[in-house]
Amino acid sequence: MDRNQSKNLFLFIGCLSAGVVTGWLLISRSDRKNILKIRENYRKAGKWFGGQNRKVINHGKKSVSAFTEYIRNSFEKSIPDLYDATEEISIEDTGTVNTSHA
């Protein structure tokens, strides 16, 4: 979910919340019933939004992990392993390099 979609989601939830509150306040019920109904709706909206938030965070973590793995694999393919490349090279006490397998 990109930044514009997040902003649109927040705007939608804000407008929806304002409409719900206004609607419940304008209907003819006692104030106590209105407050309880508004609280219930806010709890439901909060649970839904919390679930959406967790989904976005999990998706972001998966995307970052996949990107990190892609970069790691790219480096491993393009850069030779120096341990494997120098495994059979021995340095003698004289300071010369000996590549024979004796």
Is the pLDDT higher at 96 or at 68? 68
Helix (H) or strand (E) holding 97: strand 97-98
Question: Coil, strand, or helix at residue 90?
Answer: strand
Is the pLDDT higher at 81 or at 98? 81
pLDDT of amino acid 92: 67
Distance (Å, whole) CA 4 – CA 10: 10
For 4-32, how does the pLDDT look when each residue is reduced to its tens digit (9 = 90+)?
777 778 888 888 888 888 876 777 666 77
Token pair 């304008």 in the structure block, residue: 26
Both structure tokens of 2: 């990109």
The secondary structure of the chain in percent helix, strand, coil, rounded to multiples of 5, reads 75, 5, 20
For 25-66, how does the pLDDT look when each residue is reduced to its tens digit (9 = 90+)?
777 666 777 778 888 888 888 888 888 888 888 888 999 999
pLDDT of amino acid 37: 82
Is the pLDDT higher at 95 or at 24? 24
Q: What is the DSSP letter of 87?
A: T
Question: What is the C-alpha radius of gyration for the chain, rounded to an integer number of angstroms?
Answer: 31
pLDDT of amino acid 66: 92
Distance (Å, whole) CA 94 – CA 46: 74
